[in-house]
């Protein structure tokens, strides 16, 4: 009742705001009772601060999906980072640049569902800092379910960090190697290795602290630099490749678990990462076993076919199918029911079979030991031979079960002895059961240094015993013969293999063996069968890797058994099957260019592009040297500019101009201007623009937008507007992108009059603003206190079919509160609720600031408690509003 009395004495807005806030509080906290802290509650910034004060380490790991998030949750990791490294370890890119905000949000949401305890931090991906940084950060929190965001620490990012913190969002900074700066750095390289670079790392970290970051990540810097930064800061440092002197450490989930066993991942795994497990090997083994069981009809077995029909229902089902004329289906259903009933066996029988094998092994060990063997007991004698046969009865364990037992016996002699017992007591009609257990002694013998002759003996024995080889057994024999230089045996084996066993995998193993030993022609004969149009064993990526890594090496065995022309033809034949040499196209492109076969060179480059194959550095150089076509020139120039090598692209453009029949076009110049603008060399971009007019290349709206965006991003906003006005005078009109860039830039520097003027021009020109333009302009008008104009733009936004986002709503509420326009603020809050947009930390902070402004400190503190119970972390702005109010009221001790 006391609370309601307080509520009745404050303004209608306060009552409405509080009622709206309370509508989002869980039932067990509706009455303001704080939930007790438990071990599985979300880690908070206050807890991290306490760990920092106590010098307790902070463990941070990345996660990108629900399963990895659950793993982090149950192991008590402090911070879960949903990093843009997902671009590399999940999406397979070579850098962190390609991943988009929408893709990052998918990862964030998945992790948020799985990790209930760690503090969740989402990376702002590349390209989201330049426009509406705060809106992007809010989106990551609201739509991604994050508690904080992380961003890099360049000077421009420090400004962004400060703005985000002031908006009420917690931020982790990032210094040292910032992977998003790869286009400037050229490659991933450590930072802080010289004096100036080391000082820059420490100064940037301190600037991020001053901007309000609650922690800073130090990546790939020498240990003394990391130690200096840790000492200079009053917030935790998180190291990654920065030595042991940071407060916390972070590693990528896939790296520390050894998750990916693949050439791409090996290329991007950093040298500072310690692998705590080899999960990739376990996964590979499990998948191989699954595939093998499926191929051999072993999965699913009875234990994994749990759903049953009783006999009466089976008979009824059978009769109904017959009535429908589905006699064949009825027979199939009946046969399946009989087979499943026959296959069932009690657990006690399985245990007895394990006991049989254990007793046999005990007897075998006694018999083979140096000590005088004990006389076998009658039970063991009875189990030795007669007991093996029941293992292969109709209720026998699967062949994979026998294989695991045989492989687990520890040595080739024991495995072979046990297999012989199986073979001697297996009816001839059941020899196919022995294919899998036969693989076990093959594996054991293949590991022995002198196992070549024994492998040959085992193969001959398998033919005598009538035991068909599995795919894996065939591959083991081929590799084993190859390792022991037994060429003839390997060739005979391959010829004698059943066609069903000679799949793509076995052929790849055989081709690899032949090429490594100089038998190129024989290898190509095997490959030709795979390249036939309707081949049942087509080549795959592994085939391509084997072929090109061996053939393109040249004189491996003293002679090249494949001509240059034949090599090129082979490239195209494999290409028809979608197989390309990922890193070995340099030679065929060079050969085609040298021989003037430009048409086929273009075809090969087009195929590369279609299959998303990026040329290696060597391939790029060869392409440049062989260029004779404008399209290829532009493709290479564009690629160079995108990776920060615009100077090389410029030289290539001048070379293009010097060639007869070739000339740069507007696409060429746009690529170069964009490259120079991205690195901040605006003057060079404008120089190229002037050059376009000199050589008769007409700029288009893309050219205009590139230069306007570049100038705005680098603080030359008035220059961008003058340039735009001049272009309009010359007949080149801007589009929605042009206006949006300028409006956003003027809003960012609080020049709201010019932003409104541009907005009016945009509408008058017929360009349609998107939602982000409306949101940014409304926020700017609210910040400037022009609430009538903001309301007018809000009406236009709704008329255009858009709706405000949470940032827009917060700006309006905050603006109306500052103007003491209570009813208007109430209308906005009510509209937000009806639209289903939940309040965020900024919403609560705005209310707390309003209550403080009106002297309602009790309600302000209660609002902050509700804010925490809703899972939002009070920010510097929240505490600042309270501290300012208490100070203004003369209550210094309360702060």
Backbone angles phi, psi at 214, to 5 degrees: -90, -10
Of the chain, the percentage scoring pLDDT greater than 90 comes to 18
Give the pLDDT mean for 451-475: 85
pLDDT of res. 30:
34
Cβ atoms of 559 and 525 within 8 Å: the answer is no
Is residue 138 scored above 60 in pLDDT? Answer: yes
Per-residue confidence at 512, pLDDT binned at 50, 70, 90?
Answer: confident
How do residues 92-134 score in pLDDT, each as one tens digit?
A: 887 888 888 999 999 999 999 999 999 999 999 887 766 678 8
How do residues 373-394 score in pLDDT, each as one tens digit?
A: 433 333 333 333 344 444 444 4
Distance from C-alpha of 809 to C-alpha of 774, rounded to nearest angstrom: 12
Give the pLDDT mean for 39-60: 87
pLDDT of res. 515:
84
pLDDT of res. 688:
92
Which of 554-558, 716-720, 848-852 has the highest average model confidence (pLDDT)?
716-720
| Among 58-62, 228-232, 600-604, 715-719, the least confident range | 600-604
Which of 63-77, 153-167, 357-371 has the highest average model confidence (pLDDT)?
63-77
Distance from C-alpha of 881 to C-alpha of 842, rounded to nearest angstrom: 12
Per-residue confidence at 845, pLDDT binned at 50, 70, 90?
Answer: confident
Give the pLDDT mean for 610-629: 51
Under DSSP, the state recorded for 628 is: -
The three-point CA angle 840-846-850 to 5° equals 150
Is residue 260 scored above 90 in pLDDT? Answer: no
pLDDT of res. 225:
92
pLDDT of res. 33:
34
Is residue 662 scored above 60 in pLDDT? Answer: yes
How do residues 389-433 score in pLDDT, each as one tens digit?
A: 444 444 445 677 777 777 766 677 777 887 777 777 766 656 666
Distance from C-alpha of 644 to C-alpha of 126, rounded to nearest angstrom: 15
Q: Which residue reads 């049942």 in tokens? A: 536
Catalytic residue, from 102, 166, 219, 358: name it.
Answer: 219
| Among 485-489, 635-639, 770-774, 799-803, the least confident range | 635-639
pLDDT of res. 9:
41
Per-residue confidence at 57, pLDDT binned at 50, 70, 90?
Answer: very high
B/e letters for 516-552, b = 16+ CB within 10 Å, e = fewer, are ebbbbebbbebbeebbeeeeebbbeeebbbbbbebbb
Distance from C-alpha of 813 to C-alpha of 825, rounded to nearest angstrom: 5
pLDDT of res. 390:
45
Catalytic: 219?
yes
Distance from C-alpha of 686 to C-alpha of 690, rounded to nearest angstrom: 6
Per-residue confidence at 483, pLDDT binned at 50, 70, 90?
Answer: confident
Per-residue confidence at 357, pLDDT binned at 50, 70, 90?
Answer: low
Which of 225-239, 250-264, 365-379, 642-656 has the highest average model confidence (pLDDT)?
225-239
Rounded to whole angstroms, what are the CA distances from 873 to 44, 165, 364, 841?
7, 12, 67, 7
Cβ atoms of 649 and 637 within 8 Å: the answer is yes
Burial of 206 (0-12, 13-18, 19+ CB in 10 A): middle
Per-residue confidence at 593, pLDDT binned at 50, 70, 90?
Answer: low
pLDDT of res. 13:
41
Burial of 459 (0-12, 13-18, 19+ CB in 10 A): buried
3-state secondary structure of 27: helix
3-state secondary structure of 64: coil
Per-residue confidence at 549, pLDDT binned at 50, 70, 90?
Answer: low
Per-residue confidence at 555, pLDDT binned at 50, 70, 90?
Answer: very low
Distance from C-alpha of 858 to C-alpha of 302, rounded to nearest angstrom: 66
3-state secondary structure of 583: coil
| Among 184-193, 567-576, 728-737, the least confident range | 184-193
3-state secondary structure of 601: helix
The more confident residue out of 307 and 661 is 307
pLDDT of res. 343:
56
Give the pLDDT mean for 161-170: 90
Cβ atoms of 86 and 126 within 8 Å: the answer is no
B/e letters for 112-150, b = 16+ CB within 10 Å, e = fewer, are bebbebbbbbbbbbbebbbbbbbbbbbbbbbbbbbbbbb
The three-point CA angle 718-721-724 to 5° equals 150
To the nearest 10°, report the CA torsion of 441, 444, 446, 451. Answer: -90
Q: Which residue reads 């085992």 in tokens? A: 458
126: left (phi > 0), else alpha (psi -120 to 50), else beta? beta
Distance from C-alpha of 702 to C-alpha of 670, rounded to nearest angstrom: 7
List residues bridging with 170 in a β-sheet: 148
B/e letters for 775-797, b = 16+ CB within 10 Å, e = fewer, are bbbbbbbbbbebbebbbebbeeb
> At a CB cut-off of 8 Å and minimum separation 6, what does 5 contact?
none
Of the chain, the percentage scoring pLDDT greater than 70 comes to 73
* Token pair of 449 as six digits: 């240094």
* Token pair of 263 as six digits: 């050439």
Distance from C-alpha of 129 to C-alpha of 140, rounded to nearest angstrom: 13
* DSSP sequence for 738-803: HHHHHHHHHHHTT-HHHHHHHHHHHHHTTPPP-HHHHHHHHHHHHHTT-HHHHHHHHHHHHHTT--
Per-residue confidence at 444, pLDDT binned at 50, 70, 90?
Answer: confident
Radius of gyration of the chain from Cα atoms?
Answer: 36
Give the pLDDT mean for 177-191: 59
Is residue 581 scored above 70 in pLDDT? Answer: no
Is residue 820 scored above 70 in pLDDT? Answer: yes
The runs of H, that is alpha helices, within 553-698 are 564-576, 586-594, 598-610, 617-626, 630-642, 646-658, 666-678, 682-695
Which of 185-194, 484-493, 630-639, 659-668 has the highest average model confidence (pLDDT)?
484-493
* Token pair of 647 as six digits: 């100077």
Under DSSP, the state recorded for 396 is: P
- pTM, 2 dp: 0.40
Which of 239-243, 265-269, 270-274, 889-893 has the highest average model confidence (pLDDT)?
239-243
Which of 328-332, 744-748, 868-872 has the highest average model confidence (pLDDT)?
744-748
Distance from C-alpha of 480 to C-alpha of 446, rounded to nearest angstrom: 6
- Count the neighbouring beta carbons within 10 Å of the beta carbon of residue 2: 7
pLDDT of res. 177:
81
End-to-end CA separation in angstroms for the chain: 28
How do residues 669-694 score in pLDDT, each as one tens digit?
A: 999 999 999 888 898 999 999 898 88
Give the pLDDT mean for 760-777: 88
Cβ atoms of 138 and 169 within 8 Å: the answer is yes
The more confident residue out of 251 and 569 is 251
pLDDT of res. 863:
77
3-state secondary structure of 17: helix
Per-residue confidence at 165, pLDDT binned at 50, 70, 90?
Answer: very high
Is residue 434 scored above 90 in pLDDT? Answer: no
* Token pair of 94 as six digits: 């070579």
Per-residue confidence at 268, pLDDT binned at 50, 70, 90?
Answer: low
pLDDT of res. 22:
35
pLDDT of res. 19:
42
Distance from C-alpha of 636 to C-alpha of 622, rounded to nearest angstrom: 11
Rounded to whole angstroms, what are the CA distances from 290 to 293, 438, 754, 826?
5, 19, 66, 61
pLDDT of res. 706:
93
Question: Per CATH, which fold does 45-281 belong to?
Answer: TIM Barrel (3.20.20)
pLDDT of res. 480:
86
Average predicted confidence (pLDDT) for the chain: 77
Per-residue confidence at 607, pLDDT binned at 50, 70, 90?
Answer: low
| Among 25-34, 437-446, 529-538, 801-810, the least confident range | 25-34
Burial of 427 (0-12, 13-18, 19+ CB in 10 A): exposed
* Token pair of 662 as six digits: 């070739």
The three-point CA angle 213-216-219 to 5° equals 150
């Amino acid at each position: 009742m006391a609370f309601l009395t307080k509520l009745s004495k404050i303004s209608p807005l306060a009552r409405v705001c509080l009622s709206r806030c309370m509508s989002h509080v869980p039932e067990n906290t509706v009455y303001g009772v704080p939930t007790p802290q438990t071990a599985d509650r979300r880690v908070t910034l206050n807890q991290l601060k306490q760990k920092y004060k106590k010098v307790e380490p902070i463990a941070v790991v990345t996660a990108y999906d629900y399963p990895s998030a659950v793993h982090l949750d149950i192991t008590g990791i402090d911070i879960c980072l949903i990093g843009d490294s997902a671009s590399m370890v999940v999406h397979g890119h070579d850098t962190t640049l390609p991943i988009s905000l929408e893709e990052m949000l998918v990862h964030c949401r998945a992790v948020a569902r799985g990790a209930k305890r760690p503090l969740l931090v989402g990376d702002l991906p590349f390209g989201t800092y330049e426009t509406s940084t705060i809106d992007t950060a809010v989106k990551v929190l609201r739509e991604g379910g994050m508690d904080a965001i992380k961003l890099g620490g360049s000077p421009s990012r420090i400004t962004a960090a400060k703005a985000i913190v002031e908006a009420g969002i917690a931020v982790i900074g990032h210094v040292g190697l910032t992977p998003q700066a790869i286009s400037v750095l050229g490659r991933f390289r450590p930072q802080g290795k010289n004096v100036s670079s080391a000082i820059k790392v420490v100064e940037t970290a301190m600037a991020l602290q001053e901007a309000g970051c609650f922690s800073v990540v130090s990546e790939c810097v020498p240990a003394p630099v990391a130690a200096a930064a840790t000492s200079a800061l009053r917030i935790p440092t998180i190291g990654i490749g920065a030595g042991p002197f940071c407060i916390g450490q972070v590693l990528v989930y896939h790296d520390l678990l050894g998750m990916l066993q693949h050439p791409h991942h090996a290329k991007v795994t950093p040298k500072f990462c310690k692998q705590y497990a080899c999960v990739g090997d376990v996964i590979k083994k499990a998948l191989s076993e699954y595939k093998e069981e499926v191929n051999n009809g072993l999965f699913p077995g009875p234990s994994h076919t749990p759903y049953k029909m009783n006999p009466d229902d089976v008979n009824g089902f059978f009769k109904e199918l017959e009535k429908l004329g589905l006699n064949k289906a009825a027979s199939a259903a009946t046969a399946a029911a009989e087979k499943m009933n026959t296959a069932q066996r009690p657990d006690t029988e399985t245990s007895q079979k394990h006991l049989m094998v254990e007793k046999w092994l005990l007897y075998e060990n006694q018999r083979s030991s140096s000590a005088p063997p004990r006389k076998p007991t009658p039970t063991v004698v009875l189990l030795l031979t007669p007991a093996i046969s029941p293992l292969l009865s109709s209720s026998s364990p699967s062949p994979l079960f026998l294989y695991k037992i045989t492989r687990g016996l520890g040595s080739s002699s024991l495995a072979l002895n046990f297999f012989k017992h199986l073979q001697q007591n297996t009816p001839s009609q059941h020899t196919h059961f022995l294919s899998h257990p036969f693989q076990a002694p093959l594996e054991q013998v293949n590991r022995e240094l002198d196992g070549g002759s024994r492998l040959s003996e085992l193969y001959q024995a398998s033919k005598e015993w009538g035991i068909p080889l599995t795919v894996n057994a065939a591959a083991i024999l081929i590799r084993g013969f190859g390792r022991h230089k037994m060429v003839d045996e390997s060739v005979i084996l391959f010829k004698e293999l059943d066609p069903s066993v000679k799949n793509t995998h076995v052929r790849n193993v055989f081709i690899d063996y032949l090429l490594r030993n100089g038998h190129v022609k024989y290898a190509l004969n095997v490959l030709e069968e795979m390249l036939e149009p309707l081949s049942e064993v087509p080549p795959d990526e592994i085939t391509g890797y084997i072929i090109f890594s061996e053939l393109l090496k040249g004189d491996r065995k003293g002679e090249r058994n494949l001509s240059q022309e034949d090599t090129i033809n082979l490239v195209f034949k494999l290409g028809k099957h979608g197989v390309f040499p990922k890193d070995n196209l340099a030679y065929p492109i060079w050969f085609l260019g040298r021989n003037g076969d430009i048409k086929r060179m273009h075809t090969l480059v087009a195929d590369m592009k279609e299959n998303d194959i990026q040329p290696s550095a060597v391939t790029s150089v060869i392409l440049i040297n062989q260029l004779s076509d404008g399209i290829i020139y532009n493709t290479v120039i564009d690629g160079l500019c995108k990776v920060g090598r615009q100077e090389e692209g410029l030289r290539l453009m001048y070379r293009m101009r010097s060639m007869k029949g070739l000339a740069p076009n507007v696409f060429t110049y746009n690529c170069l201007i964009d490259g120079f603008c991205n690195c901040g060399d605006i003057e060079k971009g404008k120089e190229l623009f002037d050059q376009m007019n000199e050589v008769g290349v007409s700029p288009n709206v893309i050219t205009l937008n590139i230069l306007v965006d570049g100038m705005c991003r680098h603080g030359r906003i008035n220059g961008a507007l003058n340039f735009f006005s001049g272009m309009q005078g010359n007949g080149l009109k801007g589009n929605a992108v042009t206006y949006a860039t300028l409006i956003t830039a003027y809003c960012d520097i609080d020049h709201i009059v010019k932003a409104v003027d541009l907005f009016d021009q945009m509408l008058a020109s017929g360009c349609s603003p998107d939602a982000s333009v409306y949101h940014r302009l409304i926020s700017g008008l609210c910040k400037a206190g022009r609430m009538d104009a903001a309301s007018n733009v809000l009406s236009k936004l709704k008329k255009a079919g858009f709706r405000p986002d949470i940032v827009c709503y917060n700006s309006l509420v905050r603006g109306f509160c500052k103007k003491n326009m209570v009813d208007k603020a109430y209308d906005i809050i009510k509209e937000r609720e009806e639209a289903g947009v939940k309040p965020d930390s900024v919403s609560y902070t705005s209310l707390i600031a309003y209550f403080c402004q009106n002297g309602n400190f009790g309600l302000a503190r209660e609002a902050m408690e509700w804010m925490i119970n809703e899972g939002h972390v009070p920010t510097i702005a929240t505490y600042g509003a309270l501290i300012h109010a208490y100070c203004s009221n003369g209550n210094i001790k309360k702060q």
